[in-house]
Every structure is written in C-alpha cells, then in structure tokens.
Amino acid sequence: MESFDVLIIGGSAAGLSCALILGSAMEKPFAKNKKIGIITHQKASALQNAELNNVLGFKKGTKGSTILEEGLKQLTSDFPKVIQISNEKVVSILKEGNSISIKTNKNLYKASKIVITTSPAKPAIIKGLESYVIPHPTIPAIKDKIMLKNHNHIVAEGIYVAGVIAGWRSQYAIAAGSGALVATDILTEWNNGNHTMIHDVIE
Ligand SMILES: Cc1cc2nc3c(=O)[nH]c(=O)nc-3n(C[C@H](O)[C@H](O)[C@H](O)COP(=O)(O)OP(=O)(O)OC[C@H]3O[C@@H](n4cnc5c(N)ncnc54)[C@H](O)[C@@H]3O)c2cc1C
C-alpha cells in the first residue's frame, strides 16, 4: 500500500494550489524526504462550467475547464515529484491513531496528513467525514451546501480542509488562497514551527 506524508484530495482551485506550493518546497531540507500526492479527480469541480472574468492574471473569457487541464500540466512539468493519482475517487477515510487510510474506488492509501478540497455538495461527502459536516454558512441556504467544521483549516489532527468546503465563499481566488494557506501551514509544521513561505527571486 502506498503511503504519503501528505495526500491532497481533489484537483481544482484549492487542491492544485496546495499541491503547487508543497511541490515548490520539495528541495528544502525540511521537505526533502516528504512524499506528497494529489488525487486529481476533477469531474465534480465547480470550475467545469465556470467562465472566469474576475481573477487576477486570467484573460477575459478564461474557461474553468482550461484552468483544470493547464493546472495538471503545470504541476507535472514544474513539480514532477508530486505524485498525481488520476481516475480515482475517494470513497472513505478512516483515521486510526496517527495514520489515515484513504480508500478510493480502485486503491487503498495511507497518509500522515490529508487535505480535503472536495466540493460542498451534500451527496459528495466522503464516508468517515459525516461527523464534521455542518451547513455551509456563506453560500445561500437555498442551495443546501455543506462544509467541514474546522478551526483554521484543521478538522482533526492530520486532517485539513481547504477551498469552498472549508466554509469560504465560492470565488476562485478565495479557494486557491485557502489551498495555498494550508500548504504553508504544513510546511511551517515540517519546518519546526518556523513560519515558511516559498519565494523565487529574479536572478
Ligand atoms: C457556473 C460557475 C461559475 C463560476 N464563476 C466564477 C467566476 O466568474 N469567478 C470566480 O472567482 N469564481 C467563479 N466560480 C466559483 C469557482 O468555480 C469556485 O469557487 C472554485 O472552483 C472552488 O474551488 P474548490 O477547489 O474549493 O472546489 P471545486 O472547484 O468544486 O473542486 C472540488 C474538487 O474535488 C473533487 N472531488 C469531489 N469529490 C471527490 C472525491 N470523492 N474524491 C476525490 N476528489 C473529489 C472534484 O472533482 C473537484 O476537482 C463559479 C462557479 C460556478 C459553478
């Protein structure tokens, strides 16, 4: 069974943003031996039908579906050490002590930490997470969406949540920022609590 230090679940704005920042840190001493993976399921992403005309850096008319495709390519080419698991959907999660088991429709994985970035739709909730589900506070109640109860993106020890399912309003930049924030929280923990950002500088 494949084991990860961190496994991200969901390959959209929050999940891919988290994976890119973790990937960009993999040459740092505190992250060098870490194994990072992402389950890049994208079918249920809100981005599939979105046109993004209000996101910094995106040209008018940018399709969400293009960003999903390009995001995977960017992760592959820039940070190939991040293991991408495609064509799998998580069906259940079980936390036993310090280890988390993640069952997909095809495989079983283990991880020390997981980052849940799935959609806020009720039927999409993964088995094992039911006790953390509460009504979504920032999406109109008529839409009947849910979030995972958390404190600063932490649901339980080793279980992080990011993106709209963390309770944030549904805007691309907010979801991406939330995924990025969780990545830097994990890096800070790996770096003995020293606040960590990954910046590149023009040579
Ligand atoms: C029609 C529409 C138009 C929009 N237009 C704009 C706009 O103009 N500007 C803007 O800022 N925002 C817009 N948005 C909002 C934006 O798309 C969302 O805020 C953003 O996609 C949220 O990202 P996320 O990563 O939190 O969740 P999502 O994009 O919903 O991604 C969730 C991910 O989890 C995966 N997943 C779900 N279940 C599982 C599972 N069991 N196992 C593994 N993976 C799973 C999904 O396939 C998906 O990849 C729009 C949304 C819609 C629906």
- Listed in sequence order, the residues at least 6 apart from 140 whose beta carbon sits closer than 8 Å to its beta carbon are none
pLDDT in tens, the chain (203 residues): 899 999 999 999 999 999 999 999 999 999 999 999 999 999 999 999 999 999 999 999 999 999 999 999 999 999 999 999 999 999 999 999 999 999 999 999 999 999 999 999 988 789 999 999 999 999 999 999 999 999 999 999 999 999 999 999 999 999 999 999 999 999 999 999 999 999 999 98
Round to whole Å and give the CA distance between 130 and 97.
Answer: 18
8 A C-beta contact, residue 72 and residue 10 = no
For domain 2-190, give the fold. Answer: FAD/NAD(P)-binding domain (3.50.50)
DSSP 53: S
| CA of 89, closest atom in ligand 1 | 42
Question: Which one of 17, 102, 119, 145 would you pick to mutate in the ligand 1 pocket, going by the greatest count of ligand atoms within 8 A of its CB?
Answer: 119
CA end-to-end span of the chain: 42
8 A C-beta contact, residue 8 and residue 37 = yes
For 84-97, the three-class secondary structure string (H helix, E strand, C coil) is EECCCCEEEEEEEC
* pTM for this entry: 0.98
In the chain, where the domains are located: 2-190
